[in-house]
Chain A
Amino acid sequence: MKTAVIVFPGSNCDRDMAVALEQATGRKPQMVWHKDAALPQGLDLVAIPGGFSFGDYLRCGAIAAQAPVMRAVVAFANRGGHVLGVCNGFQVLIEAGLLPGALMRNAGLTFVCRDVTLEVATADSVFTSAYARGQALTVPVAHHDGNYVADAALLERLRGEDRIAFTYRDNPNGSTADIAGVLSGNRRVLGMMPHPERAVDPVLGGTDGTALFDSIAAAARIGA
């Protein structure tokens, strides 16, 4: 399975993401600098890591979404490619128009950095197929702007199309309907604020994120 991790100035979870992907797929992902206008050939998945791309200037993810490589990522997604965005990566995917809604300042105004309990809201995606619907996971969050905003119409659509991937048990940021992660209409783009790549080794404090990467690797093996 061929994967790539996009690196922006200010990305800081790119190497964690690479470790998690290599652990699941047995192959080192290619690290792609934001100024590259093209992605490597034959990719199965592009990951957009957490961090503070471009210093969170203007809005989190807004400048990164306009980087040359993002045009290629959007084209890849529009061709049906799999894209995973975590934390700042989720913000970038929203700003790039690949996922709906918006991510605002946390309702409590503080940076939240701790383990949270997530619930798997759907197992019907290449990212969540190794989980059971309703399964509880412990995964860390670390963000200041993770308050997912969806108006009533969008929320109804997300629910109707089973596109809410994860919800928080104890909402840390004020997100609409406790939403922690959402899928695109074709279910091939996932954005989530919590960090599954920081929960893939007991040394890190837990392994509940491993199944997400195993799901992706399994999907690639069967050519989903």
Chain B
Amino acid sequence: MQARIYVTLKQGVLDPQGEAVRHALGAMGFDGVHGVRQGKLLDVELDAASRDEAEARLREMCEKLLANTVIEDFRVELL
């Protein structure tokens, strides 16, 4: 099974990298960019008997390793 996981900073957590990207875009002349938040995308290929099982295992992977849930949110998408 194929899955895609998005890991993003929680709202309210300052994202210095996203801010730097936003500044760079402004400096390049891309006007009207009010915010940039940087995150991670992980494509995962896994064995699973069902979509429910796959999603449950992926969520566990996110909680235990792929995301730092103190500062990050994650979203699991089965493709």
Contacts and interface: CB of A to CB of B under 8 A. Distances in A.
Interface of A: 58-59, 62, 66, 95, 100-102, 104-109, 147, 149, 174
Nearest to A95: B68
B71 interface: yes
Given A105-B17, A149-B70, 7 more contacts: A58-B66, A59-B68, A62-B68, A66-B65, A104-B16, A105-B16, A174-B16
A109 B17 contact: yes
Nearest to A101: B70
A22 B43 CA distance: 46
B68 A102 contact: yes
A141 to B, nearest CB: 17
Given A102-B70, A149-B70, A107 B14 contact: yes
Interface of B: 13-14, 16-17, 20, 65-66, 68, 70-71
A31 B5 CA distance: 37
A102 B71 contact: yes
Contacts, number: 31
Contacts of A149: 13, 70-71
A120 B66 CA distance: 34
Contacts of B17: 105, 109
B71 A106 contact: no
B68 A109 contact: no
A102 B66 CA distance: 14
Contacts of A108: 16
A106 B15 CA distance: 10
A105 B15 CA distance: 8
Given A102-B70, A102-B71, A149-B70, A107 B16 contact: yes
A109 B23 CA distance: 13
Contacts of B20: 109
27 contacts: A58-B66, A59-B68, A62-B65, A62-B68, A66-B65, A95-B68, A100-B70, A101-B70, A102-B68, A104-B14, A104-B16, A104-B71, A105-B16, A105-B17, A106-B16, A107-B14, A107-B16, A108-B16, A109-B16, A109-B17, A109-B20, A147-B16, A149-B13, A149-B70, A149-B71, A174-B14, A174-B16
Nearest to B42: A58
